[in-house]
Amino acid sequence: MSTDQQPIGEMLAATVPMTRTLNLRYVETTPHRAVVVLPDRSDFHNHVGGPHAGAMFTLGESASGAVVLAAFGDRMSSAVPLAVRAEIAYRKLAMGTVTATATLGRPAAEVVAELDAGTRPEFPITVEIRREDGAVTAEMTVVWTLRPND
């Protein structure tokens, strides 16, 4: 499992165009948690001057994907990670720079054991998106799977 923070963020920026488009900054990436920042830019704003809901969704999904790569990157030769479904609840008005913190919802060893047993495991990543003042502006869950390669 990769715990090296910088290369995952650099790899995502190099391979996922939306990451570059939104200028996402990967602050922390471990097999258990990722912290990703969406800068405050007027071209990402909605009608009330805060980050657009779609940009916030992409921020949260991107943070969840960073956890998946950190936790299961060593399995990419045998399985493909795919987001299965996602749900987001917008709690408070987001203004300015927002930060997503994504956390793996199941022990990685359980997920790998299911994969090794020949099943297609599903696992949740929970995400909190916060304003700079610490207020939670959105909560999200992204359910991922590792689809075994044929």
Summarize the chain as % helix, strand, coil (round to 5).
35, 35, 30
Query: For a pLDDT cut of 90, what percent of the chain falls above it?
Result: 80
Q: Among residues 29, 21, 44, 53, which one has the least CA distance to residue 103?
A: 29
- Mean pLDDT value across the chain: 92
* Confidence (pLDDT) at 1: 40
More confident: 46 or 126:
126
- Residues β-bridged to residue 139: 89, 128
Q: How far is CA 63 from CA 10, 117, 140, in A?
A: 13, 28, 11
pTM of the model: 0.92
The tokens describing 122, both together, are 């599903």
Domain count, the chain: 1
- The domain that contains 126 carries what CATH number? 3.10.129.10
Residue in the block written with tokens 């939306």? 18
- Residues β-bridged to residue 28: 35
Q: How far apart are CA 150 and CA 118, in angstroms?
A: 11
Domain containing 82 equals: 5-148
Using a 10 angstrom Cβ sphere, with 0-12 exposed, 13-18 middle and 19 or more buried, the burial of residue 106 is middle
